Amino acid sequence: MTRERSGSPPTRRGLVRALLDRFGHLVHELSKFATVGGIAFLIDFALFNYLTTAQGLEQVTAKTISTVIAATVAFLGNRFWTWRHRQRNNPAREYALFFFFNGVGLGIAVACLALSRYGLGSIWPDVFQTPLADNIASFVVGTGLGTLFRFWSYRRFVFVEAGTPAVPEAKPHRGHGA
């Protein structure tokens, strides 16, 4: 039943194989990215909760600190494992872009936390100003949205494929009178 006849639609096994052939590299990268992200997530989660409960830091400040530390771990994991097969022509550029896009990801997570805690929390403080609500807003919603953004931006702009210019070169513009 898995044999394909010429002119007939591909079988389920043929379709799965075709999809794996086409997107297998992406699935492989996404798996590594998820592993590195999972480790960074655990660091972020543990540090955030430690800073807010044991150290008494304000939630948004604690989230900022925990995310910066977790992002450093994520950079090392992604550079030297997830996308180690991609070119490394300018480490300073990679590092700067990685942290820029992490800043955007942090902004997404902090915005979700702030919207929950201070926006919705001003209406329903018993629900949205609790440790559970802070963790859901920050780590489920914020990290989820931020992760989608980071995977796309790292793959597209930070750890670029060999031969793919990260930013198109600007061509000098010559006026009509030159």
Phi/psi of residue 92, nearest 5 degrees: -65, -40
Q: How many CB atoms lie within 10 A of CB 10?
A: 12
- Grade residue 11 by pLDDT with cuts at 50, 70 and 90: low
Taking the model in full, what pTM does it have?
0.60
User: How many residues are present in the chain?
Assistant: 178
| Cα 34 to Cα 54: distance, rounded to the nearest angstrom | 29
Q: What is the model's pLDDT at position 10?
A: 55
Q: What is the mean pLDDT of the chain?
A: 81
Report DSSP state, residue 163.
T
Which of the two residues, 86 and 2, has the higher pLDDT score? Answer: 86
Contact criterion met (CB below 8 Å) for 51 and 66? yes
Range name among 91-95, 136-140, 161-165 with the lowest pLDDT average: 161-165
| 141, 112 Cβ separation under 8 angstroms | yes
Per residue in 105-117, pLDDT tens? 889 989 999 999 9
Name the nearest CA neighbour of 36 among 64, 67, 70: 70
Is 3's pLDDT higher than 90? no
